[in-house]
Amino acid sequence: MRRARADLVLDIGSTTATYVSLAERVQEQTRIPDALIDGKLANAAETFRQVGALLDVGEHAEELARYAEETLAEIHRLTEQVPPERRPKVYFARGPKGLETGAQGSINIEALDFVAAHNVAAENLGSGGIVNISPEQVLAWQPDVIVTINRDFYVSVWKDPLWQSVKAVRDKRVYLAPDLPFGWIDSPPSANRLMGIRWLAKFLYPELFPADLRAETRRFYDLFYHQEPTEQQLDELLVGPTPP
């Protein structure tokens, strides 16, 4: 970083004591100011405004902040109509075997908190970060839906004997989250989650979200990446592989 003559180290994510200590060490070792900003999805609007002020791009940051507020408010308004007994049990599968997930409070699974879903791992494992689990635990939880960010797992899960007795697999309700240019749910847990919760909510409650997801994706990419995806790119993002 010193060779690059950076003026600022900008880190957006967890602000727990561990990451505060790391930021302080980086600043001390590099003698470059280190800004650690809360990356929680619920605070996305304020995060954009803080970054905008730091980088002197406040006008565009305000556009992003308003989009974040609009998205979170819309998702909350619609999903709160779903009674608890109609909310699906969802398992978030990370890793090539799908046996890595997030415990309650993990920034990696925050998207599930916004779509009125029962996050089976969070409800059964308690607080923590990224954890490894066993196939027996998934069998015991019997999720209605599996969301994954790993293409290898998505391809293999349909034939893997360990997963054949899981309800979500039997019902063909395993969904591979879009990941271009970055993950929509995680990897990393960033601004793309704003599009990810729209995508996920539409899969879980299509009757509540009749809006055109392709049009919303164009809008998001134009605002955040200054480029509208082509029809082929939209197909790659939104259609994805078909279950066997």
- Residues 102 and 129: their CA atoms lie apart, in Å, by 6
Is the confidence at residue 4, as pLDDT, over 70?
no
pLDDT tens digits, residue range 58-72?
Answer: 999 999 999 999 999
- Hey, what are 122's tokens? 């969070």
Torsion of CA 179, 180, 183, 185, to 10 degrees: -70
Q: Which CATH class is domain 84-205?
A: alpha beta
pTM of the model: 0.92
Pair 182, 199: CB distance under 8 Å: no
The owner of tokens 């990696």 is: 108
Question: How confident is residue 1, by pLDDT bands cut at 50, 70 and 90?
Answer: low
In this prediction, residue 44 carries a pLDDT of: 97
Q: Look at residue 176 in the predicted model and tell me its pLDDT.
A: 96
Q: What is the 8-class DSSP label of residue 38?
A: E
CA distance 91 to 98: 10
Side-chain-side CA neighbours of residue 117 (13 Å):
29
For residue 175, the tally of other CB atoms under 10 A from its CB is 20
- Tell me which residue of 53, 60, 58 sits closest to 37, measured CA to CA: 53
User: How much is the pLDDT for 233?
Assistant: 92
Q: What are phi and psi of 63, to 5 degrees?
A: -60, -45
| Stretch(es) of the chain classified as CATH 3.40.50.1980 | 84-205
Q: State the sign of the Cα–Cα–Cα–Cα dihedral 166, 167, 170, 174.
A: negative
Q: What pLDDT score does 3 carry?
A: 63
pLDDT tens for each residue of 18-61: 889 999 999 999 999 999 999 999 999 999 999 999 999 999 99
Separation between Cα atoms, residue 220 and residue 201, nearest integer Å:
16
What distance in Å separates the CA atoms of residue 226 and residue 234, rounded to the nearest whole number? 15
3-state secondary structure of 242: coil
Q: Are 1 and 30 in contact (CB under 8 A)?
A: yes
Q: Are 145 and 117 in contact (CB under 8 A)?
A: yes
For 104, phi then psi, to 5°, come to -60, 130
Amino acid identity, position 14: S
Cα 140 to Cα 149: distance, rounded to the nearest angstrom = 22
